[in-house]
């Protein structure tokens, strides 16, 4: 089998990669949402991939892996890797999880992720109301994550929240950073207490916190919330689009508290998790398969983290339905350090009409049943999807 074409189309908000083979099998991968500008970055790899055997995933990836980078530029390489696994699974007549070693669980736990919605306000009462809404969703989540502090409008909505200025940058993930005021700290702690009281003891609460905290504030906050038994505090020091790790600083934070510290969504490749894991710098890692380099990368990181007593909770908010399928496949194969992955969704909602193979309902009691169809187990329906292609991408399914 040979690759005869590599295509990329922006469908809705997500760039979609299609690897076309000479045996009539196509594989699909998805770049994380909101990155249409990465389409040319995907297509630059076309000439390097033509003529290669897509079922030799690692051999093909050796040609292009070094051309990726921290979020967002690892997305293009990651989407190609997942499309290769999709082809390989279809060619073998096997689900991707069997190519990755086989599933060790029949259901994978997920948390709310992309089902979060903008809140009307950011008072403790508003946060409590949002937690009650999440707890009542039909998906039956057993873990809920919520953005607070520097990972929320709180930094703008609460007067004098921190000793700094909110960045005028137009880009998501702008690094607003600074020492928090005493009032800002107390307000944030009040919001956490309100959320935990609303959820009760049966639903775990994780907090997406930044990046933006300075170390001393992060230590104070992590210690102050120990009584709430949170699942984790995410991206306090780095994260999102920060192109470095700072494992030594994370180590200081983790060593200071019993509250689990989590990071990793922006990190590209296993090598850049090495210090976080070997230094015991965090208690939970959260790579995103759509940014870290693909499924083989995140599986290796999960195994290596497990050897060091570190838990795994993959990121996935903007990965779309093809990215969701990839997360199901790889999460089914992870060791017992796996907690849950962040649930992506179809956005716009018509994505659910153009992707075949997903269970309905998708999530029951906070879990997704692992399916066994070949490849990623889902397919874009060309006839239903064509209406959403731009003129530039009309030949995507040809």
- Please report the DSSP string for 328-342 in residue order: HHHHTTS-TTB--EE
Using the CB atoms, write b or e for 213-239: b if 16+ within 10 Å: bbeebbbbbbebbeebebbbbbbbbbb
342 by Cβ neighbours in 10 Å (0-12 / 13-18 / 19+) ranks as buried
| Residues 369 and 106: beta-carbon distance below 8 Å | yes
pTM: 0.97
Considering only the top CATH level, what class is 98-376? alpha beta
| Residues 38 and 16: beta-carbon distance below 8 Å | no
| Residues 86 and 118: beta-carbon distance below 8 Å | no
User: DSSP H helical segments within the chain, as ranges?
Assistant: 39-43, 46-49, 57-64, 74-92, 96-99, 124-135, 154-157, 182-199, 215-224, 247-255, 274-278, 289-292, 295-307, 320-331, 351-354, 382-385
**Residue 10 in tokens:** 């922006």
Domain 3-93+380-393 CATH (choose: 3.60.20.10, 3.20.20.140, 3.90.180.10, 3.30.390.10): 3.30.390.10
pLDDT of residue 33: 85
**Residue 78 in tokens:** 């990651």
| Residues 354 and 322: beta-carbon distance below 8 Å | no
Task: Tokens 């800002």: give the residue.
Answer: 184
To the nearest 10°, report the CA torsion of 57, 60, 64, 66: 70
Please tell me the distance from the alpha carbon of residue 339 to that of residue 132, in angstroms, as a whole number.
22
Sheet holding 367-369, edge to edge: 341-342, 107-111, 367-369
pLDDT of residue 34: 83
State whether residue 208 is helix, strand or coil. strand
Neighbours of 24 (CB within 10 A): 7
pLDDT in tens, the chain (398 residues): 999 999 999 999 999 999 999 999 999 999 988 899 999 999 999 999 999 999 999 999 999 999 999 999 999 999 999 999 999 999 999 999 999 999 999 999 999 999 998 899 999 999 999 999 999 999 999 999 999 999 999 999 999 999 998 988 888 778 899 999 999 999 999 999 999 999 999 999 999 999 999 999 999 999 999 999 999 999 999 999 999 999 999 999 999 999 999 999 999 999 999 999 999 999 999 999 999 999 999 999 999 999 999 999 999 999 999 999 999 999 999 999 999 999 999 999 999 999 999 999 999 999 999 999 999 999 999 999 999 999 999 999 99
Neighbours of 352 (CB within 10 A): 14
| Residues 276 and 263: beta-carbon distance below 8 Å | yes
CA angle 279, 285, 289 (to 5 degrees): 130
The two domains 3-93+380-393 and 98-376 share their CATH topology (first three levels equal): no
Q: Where are the domains of the chain?
A: 3-93+380-393, 98-376
Please tell me the distance from the alpha carbon of residue 199 to that of residue 84, in angstroms, as a whole number.
41
Please tell me the distance from the alpha carbon of residue 369 to that of residue 363, in angstroms, as a whole number.
8
The contacts found for 116-121 with CB under 8 angstroms, 24 or more apart, are 116/145, 116/146, 116/147, 121/157
């Amino acid at each position: 089998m040979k690759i005869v074409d590599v295509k990329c189309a922006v469908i809705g908000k997500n760039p979609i990669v299609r690897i076309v083979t000479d045996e009539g099998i196509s594989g699909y991968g998805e770049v994380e949402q909101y990155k249409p500008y990465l389409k040319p970055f995907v297509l630059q790899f076309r000439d390097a991939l033509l003529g290669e055997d897509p079922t030799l995933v690692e051999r093909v990836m050796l040609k292009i892996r070094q051309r990726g980078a921290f979020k967002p530029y690892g997305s293009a390489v990651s989407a190609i890797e997942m499309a290769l696994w999709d082809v390989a699974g279809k060619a073998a007549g096997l689900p991707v999880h069997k190519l990755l070693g086989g599933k060790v669980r029949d259901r994978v736990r997920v948390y709310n992720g992309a089902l979060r919605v903008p809140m009307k306000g950011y008072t403790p009462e508003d946060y409590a109301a949002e937690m009650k809404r999440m707890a009542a969703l039909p998906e039956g989540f057993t873990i809920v994550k919520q953005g607070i502090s520097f990972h929320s409008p709180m930094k703008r909505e609460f007067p004098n929240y921190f000793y700094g200025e909110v960045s005028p940058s137009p880009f998501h993930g702008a690094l607003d950073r600074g020492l928090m005021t005493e009032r800002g700290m107390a307000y944030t702690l009040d919001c956490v207490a309100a959320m935990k009281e609303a959820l009760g003891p049966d639903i775990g609460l994780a907090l997406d916190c930044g990046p933006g905290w300075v170390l001393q504030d992060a230590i104070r906050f992590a210690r102050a919330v120990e009584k709430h038994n949170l699942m984790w505090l995410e991206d306090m020091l780095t994260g999102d689009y920060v192109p470095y790790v700072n494992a030594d600083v994370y180590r200081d934070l983790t060593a200071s508290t019993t509250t689990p510290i989590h990071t990793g969504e922006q990190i590209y490749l296993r090598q850049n998790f090495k210090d976080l894991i070997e230094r015991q710098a965090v208690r939970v890692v959260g790579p995103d398969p759509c940014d870290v380099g693909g499924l083989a990368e995140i599986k290796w990181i999960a195994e290596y983290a497990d050897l060091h007593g570190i838990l795994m909770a993959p990121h996935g908010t903007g990965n779309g339905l093809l990215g969701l399928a990839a997360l199901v496949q790889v999460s089914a194969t992870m060791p017992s350090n796996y907690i849950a992955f962040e649930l992506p969704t179809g956005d716009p909602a018509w994505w659910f009409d153009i992707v075949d193979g997903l269970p309905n309902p998708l999530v029951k009691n906070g879990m997704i049943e692992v399916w066994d169809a070949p490849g990623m187990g889902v397919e874009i329906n060309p006839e239903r999807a064509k209406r959403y292609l731009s003129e530039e991408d009309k030949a995507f399914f040809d």
